Structure 1
Amino acid sequence: MNHTSSIEVQHVSKRYIDDPAVAPALDDVSVSIRHNEFFTLLGPSGCGKTTLLRSIAGFEQVSSGSIHIGGHRVDELPPYKRRVNTVFQNYALFPHMSVTENIAFGLEMQGLERSAIPARVKEMLALVQMEHLARRRPAELSGGQQQRVALARALAPKPDVLLLDEPLSALDLKLRKEMQVELKRVQQEAGITFIFVTHDQEEALALSDRIAVMSSGRILQIGTPNEIYERPQHRFVAHFIGDINFLPGNLRRCAQNGGLFQPEGMPVEIPCNPATALESGAVQLAFRPERSKLVEPSQPHHLQGVVETVLYVGTATLYQCRLSNNATVMLRENNEGSASARTVGSSVAVHLPPHACLLMEA
């Protein structure tokens, strides 16, 4: 076991139905989460991320495998004997108590000396910047303010790990983005491990030190936000994180420039830098909409097509183009204050720099 880690999950599986024909909720999951790390479990509904979080908390008993927190095995311990706290989607604040009383409640249940509680509550109010609202009750607070109180209450007993189960999902978009900044600040100032569950890719990229992308009860890839976005190791990861285009075709290795990719049904070849593990033959070329560029048609080593849809989204314009082999791709160009010269029906070429091309198994 790695004693520098805050949490070690080793070969954990969870079955709700003891039937080999039914897929497990968690399927041989192993992960090490570091001290003071903001670690995110990311994936679609039903992928197992909340089950893994609840297993760490002790709300679910694992079917096999082990969980260690701070070097101690905890998978057979009840939740109250694990030095973790959880912030849920529903903040579960006591409506009849003030902000101060809500934060103090957990400390009282923990048995902290009464004389020490006011100072700890004051510290938590300062951490979440709620000193001026200390006497208010939950009904008098906004959603973002309630979220801060729930966070302060969970942090007050000084857990080794804070588990967060989509705590921002009930907030509107603008407030959610503001609270992302606050959540990251609180984690850095509190100096403890946060394990965050979300299905929001942008949220995961913005907040995380590392991300585990999950699907069907398994972890497909663990990495920094940059690694997950720039170098996805699975088609699912590439597709789930941000927008991306896929083109089937064939790779031909070339000693001079790494390789040439020929899209299915097109005579053009695209210079690329293939991963060493891929051999010549059928592959998938993937590229992000913002990494490609629309240029004038009929240029060599470019994809030829026609603009089908133009979507203005403020900071950028999105173009859906139909290529000459009938495949469609999406491209994104940043707006610079002037109207786009490209209109529906325009003939264009798509330029793909070699560094923008991700090649994956077909």
Structure 2
Amino acid sequence: MEQELKEAAQQSPATGNSPQATDIKVFAPATVANVVCGFDVLGFAVNEPGDEVVMRVTNKPGITISKITGDDGRLPLDPAKNTVSVSVQHYLDSIDRKDLGLDIELHKKMPIGSGLGSSSASTVAGLFAVKTLLGDDTDVAKLLPFAMKGEEMACGHGHADNVAPALLGGFVLIRSYEPLDVIRLPHPPGLYCAIVFPDVDVPTREARQIIRNKILMKDAVTQWGNIAGLVSGLYTQDIDLIGRSMQDVLVEPVRSILIPDFYIMRELAMQAGAVSFGISGSGPSVFAFTRDEETARQITQTLQKHLAGIKINSNSYVSTINDAGPRVLG
């Protein structure tokens, strides 16, 4: 990771020029990581939900966080403990801009601990904001190592399957972490994603700890066959191949225990016309791919009705794959 940070710094402008603007508002999208069979190596961005960051240049060097909304008081205002400010500080250090003063407002527009890349969306919004304020026109992918630093703080592991699609948009494959090698994949334009977030607590750290450290060779063969099939389906726009490749014999059987009625929900989704169904990130959110928006909305309604029947509140979202990534608002 340190090597990637150094390389990113070398390709970013280390100038003392004044920022081109004094304030900015940025949105960054939620993401679905793992995509069933691609643990820590696959992810895609969706149109909603997402987080917003307002960033202002100040006269005093250093970073402050003046406001956080939508978090129910769960996130720290201390810039040394918040993923947004920590990632932004790494970026500023890398380009030798310790002289710059920044104030950050973070507006959480998505649930924390949802399995939809909540910390990633915040971090990416902050990094994209500072990059834009400074007039840094290098490839946005150079921000990825700094975003991964935020993930490391949030969940103890600097994986990229949330931050990479949030930053780059679209469907993303992390071919390697050492060295970092990220590839943006094509996808069928008519592919819809139905997401349901049950209001239950599945902390990312705990969800990682229950995963097996050793696996059987036959399971490994099954898994990498499915990953290859999914990537092939994306390239050939073969939705049927995408659907039958999205099976996980390694992580889902363990993590599904943490999600109430997971297999019942999967059966309901498939009966309603889903192409595939699985856990988003570490959960508890679940998602289904569909061929059209109407089917996606029907699935979310069906799953929410089932969850309400077992006394669990939920939120739902329907989206195509978001190819844009972060964007400046207003």
TM-score for the superposition, normalised by structure 2: 0.23
Q: What TM-score results when the alignment is normalised by the length of structure 1?
A: 0.21
Higher relative contact order (CA 8 A, sep 6+): 2
Q: Which has the larger radius of gyration?
A: 1
Q: Select the structure that is richer in strand.
A: 1
